[in-house]
Amino acid sequence: MNCDSHVHIVGPLSRYPQVPERTYTAAEAQLDELQRRGSPHDIARFVIVQPSFYGFDNAATLDALDRLGGEGRGVAVIDPANTPDEALADMHRRGVRGLRINLYSPLAAGRQMGDSFDATAAVARRMKWHVQVIAPLPLLLQSQTLLSQSPVPVVIDHYGVYGKARPDSPEGDRLLQLLGRPHVWMKLSAPYRLDDGPMSTRPDREWLAALLEAAPSRCVWGSDWPHPPGADQHTGKETITPYRELSYDTLVEDFIAALPSQDLIEPILRDNPARLYEF
C-alpha cells in the first residue's frame, strides 16, 4: 500500500486545545476524512506530523496513531530538556519515529536551528528516530554544516521551501549537496508553499527532477493535508481560518504526472517511506 508521508490531524478544540499564542485557529481535520481521500490511490499509510498550533501537546497526533495501528507513524514536537523517558517510550510504542523542528511557522519567528537542533538530535539518537526540519531555504542553508554532520537522519520538509531559487543557482546547488548526504531525506510535499502560488498543485518539474537525481532512494511524497492556510491568511486566534480548498486527488495525480519516470512511483510512495518510517 502507498503512504502519504506528511499530514496533520486536528481534533475538536474542546478536547485538543491549541496554544494561546497561535496566529490562527485551525478547523477540525479528522482521520476518517483523510482515509476516505487516500483510498482511491491505495494510500492507507499516513505519517502524522505535529502542527505548530499544538505546541508540545502531541495528544491529537498520538490518538490518531492509535486508530491507525500499524499503518500510522508520527513526527512529534517535544521540549528535549523536559520530556521524560517514559513519555518518549510511549510515543515510540504508538508509532512516533521522528521529532520536528519548525522554523517556518510565524510562531518560530527569530528562532535559529542551533537553538534546538543538538538537544533534539540527542533525543532522536537515543530513540533511533530522525529529526524533521521545516525552514525557508536561506535559514536551512545557514545550518548546512550542522545538518550535514547530524548524528541522526534528517528529513527536510516541502522541497526545502526553496522560494525563488532554482536548482542551478548557488542556493539550489547547496540544497542538492545537502541532499546528497546519505542521511538526508526530502519530503516532496506542498507545492503551494513555494513560488508558483498559494493554490498550486503542480510540482516544479525542474526541481523535482534535480531532487530525485540527488537522492532517488531518500525522497518521499506527502499531501500536507488538510492544506494549512498561508501566513498571510492567518486571522488571529478568535476565528477559525479555513484551509486551502485543494483537491487531494489532483495533488496526487499532478505529482505522479510530474515525475521524470513512472518507475519512481512505487519507490517514492511505498518503498522509501517503508524504510524511513519502519512500516
Q: Cα separation of 77 and 50, whole Å?
A: 6
Q: Which of 85, 90, 224, 271 is catalytic?
A: 224
156, 171 contact by CB (below 8 A): no
Q: Which residue has the cell 532554482?
A: 166
The question of whether 90 is a catalytic residue gets the answer no
Coil, helix or strand at residue 26: strand
Question: Beta-carbon neighbour count of residue 81 at 10 Å?
Answer: 8
Say how many C-beta atoms besides its own lie within 10 A of residue 166's C-beta: 15
CA distances 193 to 26, 89, 113, 273, Å, are 17, 34, 20, 22
Residue 43: phi and psi, rounded to 5, are: -95, 110
Instruction: Please name the amino acid found at residue 172.
Output: G
- Residue type at position 109: A
Catalytic residues: 224
